[in-house]
């Protein structure tokens, strides 16, 4: 099992999200997309946010653009940043109740919208329509479900699971129990998957 | 100019230190090795130490061993960790007063001793002899010089420069003004050096 923990507001999750499914598929594996709220987990673990400090923030903004360029992925720094992410996370869990693959498609497209097209993930209408396009159904019904208790409970549980597993960053990929923090660790994950296939 | 900022107690500096000179030389560039004291810079910048938090510490110890394995470099977690590093840093500046290349050789060997051979960099006799071997001269004279004011002033200045340039981690490589934080950014530095050569 490959768990792909991510926050919808994480630029590095976008960079990894563009690669993780193909990487897993190349080794006959599947990915479980697991959205959580990074700020909530960091608060619980008593860790600072990655961009809280100006020196780190300035560096990370530079590093994100450079990393996207090296990977050949389009990137646009969102106008509204940080991105507010409980709504897309709850829409994800709403879709996942009936179709995990649709939820993963929605997640991938939402990250792309946020970080390649500067679309606002905190805009109810925009994310509602995005969810409807990938999950089927009416945007209004999905948005209503995303406000209801089951979706809220699913997100709370996800945050609690992330805290318990000490998922202290985004993206955070766990493959057969081994943690890989950051988009920059996907090559090491690939090496791990390759060596696991050898007899 | 390529500035290679490092702390003698940084495992990732060891991993990068094994590669940085060859990488630079492949592009006709030279490296200025710049030891500093990470804890002092982080304190000044009001940032936590990378291993201060148990969740991050456990992950980093795993990641360091995995990164060394992927790079094909020997690694042994030091028995005494964290490593106390003012002494090797002051020995470096003592050697650098007369021979920058000897100081860089000493630095590379000291990192290798600490992280591939579990040798104690806080042991006066061990680092004194290592410095003598790479810089020439008597260990006792080098150790005496490392305790004297010029070496202390050089280290203080280095820490002040690191703070001013917001060198918030180790290793931290600055190439023509562009910062690359971490051993894992050397491939991006290589890409930068390659593209700089194109007409």
- Dump pLDDT digits (tens) for A156-171: 999 999 999 999 999 9
Is B115 in a helix, a strand, or coil? helix
Q: What average pLDDT does the segment A38-45 reach? A: 97
Do residue B181 and residue A59 have CB atoms under 8 angstroms apart? yes
Q: What is the ipTM of this complex?
A: 0.94
Q: What percent of chain A has pLDDT over 90?
A: 95
Q: What percent of chain A has pLDDT over 70?
A: 99
For testing contact with chain A, the best of B38, B48, B55 (most A CBs within 10 A): B55
Nearest to A55 among B45, B59, B184 (CB): B45
Distance from chain centroid for Cα A119:
16
Q: What is the pLDDT of residue A197?
A: 75
Q: What average pLDDT does the segment A127-132 reach? A: 98
Q: Rounded to whole angstroms, how far apart are CA atoms A139 and A126? A: 9
Read off the pLDDT band of B87 (50, 70, 90).
very high
pLDDT beyond 80 at B182: yes
Do residue A166 and residue B48 have CB atoms under 8 angstroms apart? no
Q: What is the pLDDT of residue B117?
A: 98
pLDDT beyond 60 at A199: no
Q: What is the pLDDT of residue B1?
A: 87
Q: Rounded to whole angstroms, how far apart are CA atoms A122 and A184? A: 27
First to last CA, chain B: 19
Q: What average pLDDT does the segment A12-36 reach? A: 98
B55 to chain A, minimum CA–CA distance in Å?
A: 6
C-alpha dihedral sign at B49, A58, A179, B12: negative
B174 to chain A, minimum CA–CA distance in Å?
A: 12
For testing contact with chain B, the best of A12, A55, A176 (most B CBs within 10 A): A55
Nearest residue on chain B to A63, alpha-carbon basis: B180
Nearest to A53 among B47, B56, B67 (CB): B47
Q: Average model confidence (pLDDT) for chain A? A: 96
CA nearest to A2, candidates A167, A176, A157: A176
Do residue A63 and residue B191 have CB atoms under 8 angstroms apart? no
Q: pTM, whole model, 2 decimals?
A: 0.95
A191 to chain B, minimum CA–CA distance in Å?
A: 8
Q: Rounded to whole angstroms, how far apart are CA atoms A127 and A110? A: 8
Question: What is the per-residue pLDDT across B56-78, written as a single tens digit (0 to 9) for each?
Answer: 999 999 999 999 999 999 999 99
Q: What percent of chain B has pLDDT over 70?
A: 99
CB B70 within 8 A of CB A191: yes
Q: Does B177 touch chain A (CB under 8 A)?
A: no
Q: Does B112 touch chain A (CB under 8 A)?
A: no
Q: What average pLDDT does the segment A68-88 reach? A: 95
Q: Which residues in chain B are contacts of A179 at CB distance < 8 A?
A: 59, 62
pLDDT beyond 60 at A155: yes
Question: What is the per-residue pLDDT across B122-141, written as a single tens digit (0 to 9) for each?
Answer: 999 999 999 999 987 899 99
Q: Does A144 touch chain B (CB under 8 A)?
A: no
Query: Locate tokens 């280290």: which residue?
Result: B155
B166-192 core/surface letters (b: 16 or more CB in 10 A; e: else): bbbbbbbbbbeeebbbbbbbbebbbeb
Nearest to A45 among B55, B58, B187 (CB): B55
| Bridge partners for A175 per DSSP | A2, A178
* Surface-to-core class of residue B20, CB atoms within 10 Å of its CB (0-12 exposed, 13-18 middle, 19+ buried): buried
Q: Angle at CA A84, nearest 5°, toward A81 and A87?
A: 150
Read off the pLDDT band of A137 (50, 70, 90).
confident
Do residue B184 and residue A184 have CB atoms under 8 angstroms apart? yes
Question: What is the per-residue pLDDT across A81-115, written as a single tens digit (0 to 9) for each?
Answer: 999 999 999 999 999 999 999 999 999 999 999 99
Is A174 in a helix, a strand, or coil? strand
């Amino acid at each position: 099992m490959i768990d792909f923990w991510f926050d919808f507001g994480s630029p590095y999750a976008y960079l990894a999200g563009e690669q993780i499914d193909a990487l897993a598929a190349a080794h006959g594996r599947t990915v479980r997309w697991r959205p959580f709220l990074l700020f909530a987990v960091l608060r619980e673990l008593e860790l600072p946010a990655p961009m809280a400090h100006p020196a780190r923030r300035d560096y990370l903004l530079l590093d994100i653009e450079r990393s996207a360029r090296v990977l050949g992925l389009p990137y646009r720094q969102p106008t509204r940043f940080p991105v507010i992410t409980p709504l897309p996370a709850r829409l994800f869990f709403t879709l996942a109740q009936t179709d995990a693959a649709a939820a993963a498609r929605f997640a991938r497209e939402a990250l792309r919208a946020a970080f390649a097209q500067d679309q606002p993930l905190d805009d109810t209408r925009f994310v509602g329509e995005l969810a409807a396009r990938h999950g089927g159904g009416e945007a209004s019904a999905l948005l209503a479900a995303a406000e209801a208790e089951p979706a809220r409970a699913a997100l709370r549980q996800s945050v609690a699971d992330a805290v318990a597993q000490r998922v202290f960053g985004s993206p955070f990929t766990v493959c057969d129990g081994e943690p890989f923090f950051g988009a920059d660790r996907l090559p090491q994950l690939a090496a791990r998957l390759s060596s696991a296939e050898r007899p």
